Chains A and B, each alone.
Chain A
């Protein structure tokens, strides 16, 4: 852990760091690959829609001696439909039968009770109309649309349009990955899943926004210095917030993992499990995308800006010149850049690397 602490320090000082922006093409490639896989899986395999979307009834029994196989037979006999029977952590059973309507459900419940030798009122019946899930899903899409719109507007105002675009791309990317994993693994899509997916929106953006916030700070007065290009500053932003990103992701994932593995393990499939599963997948995807996709994308967009292009040219020219002039020249340049960055910016210097390095060199400062 202290090693992680040291890592934090070294990341902060810019001593170590991963060139996220420089290697962005690799990660774009990875993401595109994942996205294509997700889309193909979705097209070929589709999603395993839960009973909420197909309609039917879910019966939950208390602890009983009846095994899954026997219960499946009984339920199939009673309902004429192929049921999905799961054993719960409590020893009870969860029996899903699609295509059962209100009148049917009562009959099935009563007969199940008889066949499984359980009191009828101890069996929990959950009747689901096919349009219920569809409604929720439709609302979810509406919510998604509204949310994206609002967030893009907000980010465009609070930051800038490039960041809004990048955040949106990252968001869509997260959703695609999550949906893709559901399709690939064949997890059942329930209302809980949809809830989880919607929550990812906020979370994924939360992470992205924190990195952007640091980037916004780092790019202040960027045109007044000639040491770093925009991409390099973006990269420093990611690295300097990396420890925070890791920590927050871990801290966010821990309770969700608790819900998923302990709550789910105890109770078997259920709403808690559904929500936490999609949250877990989505959170991981969200952390990945905010680091590997969103910020590099901002850098990419920003580098097309004429001002940034000019800056890049100047930076490269300076560097070439410095190389030609050797050590002495670099020192001088150091002074120049420090002078250009006012104290206010220096205070905000958590991410602007140059000062850290300059200060580290005794000769450069005193």
Chain B
């Protein structure tokens, strides 16, 4: 501490090592504090370390749809798979796209992986069902008679709405307005025919659901009564209740279902038996109608599908709202419920308040049956936590030994200087650990084995920067400079080398991260992160500490154990003239 007054002080930021050190200290404290604040003291462990099941799915192009594997479709698929996996009651299950054509499903330990696999692997069910009743999503109060809920009259619906708890705000009219309606809406409204049975549907579909009859007949059929009871009790805002809905629903029977309206609120439905299924849709896409300047979804049906669709639309178009709607049901959830105003057959257009995304999503859902893509199970990995833990332990032991070897080498070779290297490595370790921990909740980063490996390998990268700098300082000393000018003169050049080579390292990591899948990505991410941190540590810690320590007599005098002994380094005895001339001029500043 006595030393600082001697010798010249470099100009600019270089001369304020305290500031940089304070900055990095604040960053460390903030990160550690953030860690405690977030209540997350260890990094989130990947499935390979915590145990669980990882299923990797690969999207396959189907014949005739070569461009099906694209971002939109992958995202739609992720949404569907996520809904399914979490429908199992699995918490924390992750479904992510990896690369362009893979979906990784991570199911943590403690869940039925067998069931999960089945769910993930099977194609979702898509049906078109006639809407019998719509109501706001909350559980209905018990008062309304079952007949009210099954009545097709809008008046009754309003009654019902008042009976629903305040949570379910949307009124049926809002529902149908915001919802997609067929092009036929503009056509003169079909004459309201309150009786569903007159639609002449040859299907037996309606008979099991007499409740849909507009006549307020108390339902005699026990199945219908059960359905009504279920409907009344259903609370669509409850995730668990919703998750159970899709189970054991037979397409040939009426069912209750939930769906979100365009305002994003839950609504519940009683739906008739499925009349058209997803396979009957030949193609569908969301597109911009140039003339009207709005997003619409167009559907083309297969031959068989067209017949079925004609039937359902001709019948529904005769109905009063809300029974003039059909619901597009995906995995038990109503995706959309457009109104029908005229008979349609081979192709149809759904209009409504779509934006590009929602139109394309619906188009995707319709045209691919369910999952927008067909998937192949690429690999299924079950890892017991014990094994993952063992691997982690081995990795950490290896890392510790590797680190110890590095430390020994640095101490032997750089002696006193190694202190700075070790401190820097320590700072780097703290930063890496805290950031990794915080990235768990922030972006879902999970530390997996390759990532651990990446972190261990990064020890080398980080140490490399110090070596570059130390060697530069030693070169300056060999030139005959004393330590403090040597430290400052070595810096700009070491800095450039470190930046240039770290950039290359980072580029490699970034490219790896962008183009690769799964495990490789974790590795690349860690590598990239540590490379960035290396730059931060060298700039804000190593250099300032070096500047500070250069003022200590131990280092400045070139103590044999400082690692900077000019004699040992083979410095040329005659000191440079330039130093001797500059020194006196800058001295007064200090005094």
Q: A258-B401, A259-B453, A263-B394 are in contact. Are A202 and B527 (CB under 8 A)?
A: yes
- Nearest A-chain residue to B51, judged by Cβ: A124
In the assembled complex, the Cα of A124 lies from the Cα of B51 at a distance in Å of: 10
Question: Would A206 and B505 count as touching, CB distance under 8 A?
Answer: yes
Question: Would A210 and B468 count as touching, CB distance under 8 A?
Answer: yes
Question: Would B102 and A135 count as touching, CB distance under 8 A?
Answer: yes
Question: Would B508 and A147 count as touching, CB distance under 8 A?
Answer: yes
| Chain B contacts for A9, CB-based, 8 A | 478, 568-571
Question: Would A132 and B56 count as touching, CB distance under 8 A?
Answer: yes
Bits for B513-530, please: 1 = Cβ < 8 Å to A, else 0.
011111110011001000
In the assembled complex, the Cα of A135 lies from the Cα of B449 at a distance in Å of: 20
User: Cβ of B461 < 8 Å from any Cβ of A?
Assistant: yes
Interface residues of B in 421-474 (CB under 8 A from A): 449-450, 453-454, 456-457, 459-461, 463-464, 467-468, 471-472, 474
User: Cβ of A8 < 8 Å from any Cβ of B?
Assistant: yes
User: Cβ of B496 < 8 Å from any Cβ of A?
Assistant: yes
Question: Would A199 and B527 count as touching, CB distance under 8 A?
Answer: yes
Of A179-187, A305-313, A324-332, A346-354, the stretch lying at the interface with chain B is: A346-354
Question: Would A143 and B511 count as touching, CB distance under 8 A?
Answer: yes
In the assembled complex, the Cα of A255 lies from the Cα of B382 at a distance in Å of: 29
| Chain A contacts for B386, CB-based, 8 A | 62, 122
Question: Would B456 and A253 count as touching, CB distance under 8 A?
Answer: no
Question: Would A132 and B413 count as touching, CB distance under 8 A?
Answer: no
Rounded to whole Å, the gap between the CB of B391 and the closest CB of chain A is 6
Bits for B115-152, please: 1 = Cβ < 8 Å to A, else 0.
00100000000000000000000000000000000000
Question: Would B504 and A205 count as touching, CB distance under 8 A?
Answer: yes
Question: Would A198 and B58 count as touching, CB distance under 8 A?
Answer: no
User: Cβ of A360 < 8 Å from any Cβ of B?
Assistant: yes
Rounded to whole Å, the gap between the CB of B486 and the closest CB of chain A is 11
Interface residues of A in 203-259 (CB under 8 A from B): 203, 205-206, 209-210, 213-214, 217, 240-241, 243-244, 247-248, 250-259
Q: A247-B467, A359-B574 are in contact. Are A350 and B515 (CB under 8 A)?
A: no
- B379, B391, B497: the one within 8 Å of A129 (CB): B379
Rounded to whole Å, the gap between the CB of B318 and the closest CB of chain A is 49
Question: Would A102 and B377 count as touching, CB distance under 8 A?
Answer: yes
| Chain B contacts for A136, CB-based, 8 A | 516-518, 520
Question: Would B384 and A139 count as touching, CB distance under 8 A?
Answer: no
| Chain A contacts for B515, CB-based, 8 A | 139, 142-143, 146
Rounded to whole Å, the gap between the CB of B45 and the closest CB of chain A is 15
| Chain A contacts for B23, CB-based, 8 A | none
Interface residues of B in 366-396 (CB under 8 A from A): 376-384, 386-387, 390-391, 394-395
- B394, B471, B507: the one within 8 Å of A266 (CB): B394
Question: Would B391 and A259 count as touching, CB distance under 8 A?
Answer: no
Rounded to whole Å, the gap between the CB of B78 and the closest CB of chain A is 18
User: Cβ of A128 < 8 Å from any Cβ of B?
Assistant: yes
User: Cβ of A98 < 8 Å from any Cβ of B?
Assistant: no
User: Cβ of B500 < 8 Å from any Cβ of A?
Assistant: yes
In the assembled complex, the Cα of A13 lies from the Cα of B515 at a distance in Å of: 45
- B117, B376, B456: the one within 8 Å of A259 (CB): B456
Bits for B298-336, please: 1 = Cβ < 8 Å to A, else 0.
000000000000000000000000000000000000000
Question: Would A10 and B471 count as touching, CB distance under 8 A?
Answer: no
User: Cβ of B283 < 8 Å from any Cβ of A?
Assistant: no
User: Cβ of A90 < 8 Å from any Cβ of B?
Assistant: yes
Bits for B555-591, please: 1 = Cβ < 8 Å to A, else 0.
0000000000000111110100010000000000000
Which of B382, B453, B478, B515 is the most central at the interface, judged by chain A CB atoms within 10 Å of its CB? B453
In the assembled complex, the Cα of A222 lies from the Cα of B456 at a distance in Å of: 41
Question: Would B457 and A195 count as touching, CB distance under 8 A?
Answer: no
Question: Would B471 and A267 count as touching, CB distance under 8 A?
Answer: no
- Nearest B-chain residue to A198, judged by Cβ: B512
Question: Would B511 and A147 count as touching, CB distance under 8 A?
Answer: yes
Question: Would B516 and A252 count as touching, CB distance under 8 A?
Answer: no
Of A20-28, A70-78, A270-278, A293-301, the stretch lying at the interface with chain B is: A270-278
Of A32-40, A150-158, A334-342, the stretch lying at the interface with chain B is: A150-158
Question: Would A139 and B527 count as touching, CB distance under 8 A?
Answer: no
Of B153-161, B203-211, B402-410, the stretch lying at the interface with chain A is: B402-410
| Chain B contacts for A347, CB-based, 8 A | 489
B interface, over-half SS: helix
- Nearest A-chain residue to B502, judged by Cβ: A206
- Nearest A-chain residue to B458, judged by Cβ: A255
- B413, B463, B517, B527: the one within 8 Å of A1 (CB): B413
| Chain B contacts for A198, CB-based, 8 A | 508, 512, 516, 520, 524
| Chain B contacts for A292, CB-based, 8 A | none
| Chain B contacts for A97, CB-based, 8 A | none
Question: Would A126 and B394 count as touching, CB distance under 8 A?
Answer: no
In the assembled complex, the Cα of A1 lies from the Cα of B394 at a distance in Å of: 31
Bits for A79-103, please: 1 = Cβ < 8 Å to B, else 0.
0000000000110000000000010
In the assembled complex, the Cα of A205 lies from the Cα of B56 at a distance in Å of: 33
Question: Would B467 and A272 count as touching, CB distance under 8 A?
Answer: no
Question: Would B382 and A125 count as touching, CB distance under 8 A?
Answer: yes
User: Cβ of A176 < 8 Å from any Cβ of B?
Assistant: no
- Nearest B-chain residue to A212, judged by Cβ: B500
User: Cβ of A29 < 8 Å from any Cβ of B?
Assistant: no
Interface residues of B in 239-259 (CB under 8 A from A): none
Question: Would A254 and B405 count as touching, CB distance under 8 A?
Answer: yes
- A10, A102, A154, A251: the one within 8 Å of B504 (CB): A154
Which of A6, A275, A279 is the most central at the interface, judged by chain B CB atoms within 10 Å of its CB? A275
| Chain B contacts for A64, CB-based, 8 A | none
Q: A8-B474, A256-B460, A267-B390 are in contact. Are A191 and B378 (CB under 8 A)?
A: no
In the assembled complex, the Cα of A98 lies from the Cα of B521 at a distance in Å of: 26
- B379, B382, B507: the one within 8 Å of A132 (CB): B379
- B383, B453, B460, B572: the one within 8 Å of A252 (CB): B460
Which of B459, B467, B524 is the most central at the interface, judged by chain A CB atoms within 10 Å of its CB? B467
| Chain A contacts for B383, CB-based, 8 A | 124, 126
Bits for A185-196, please: 1 = Cβ < 8 Å to B, else 0.
000000110110
13 contacts between A and B (CB under 8 A): A125-B382, A126-B382, A135-B517, A136-B520, A139-B516, A143-B516, A199-B523, A201-B508, A210-B468, A248-B468, A253-B460, A254-B405, A360-B572
Q: Give me 12 other A-B pairs in contact (C-beta within 8 A), A10-B570, A244-B467 excluded.
A: A5-B413, A105-B380, A127-B379, A136-B516, A150-B507, A205-B508, A213-B497, A251-B410, A251-B464, A259-B457, A266-B398, A343-B578
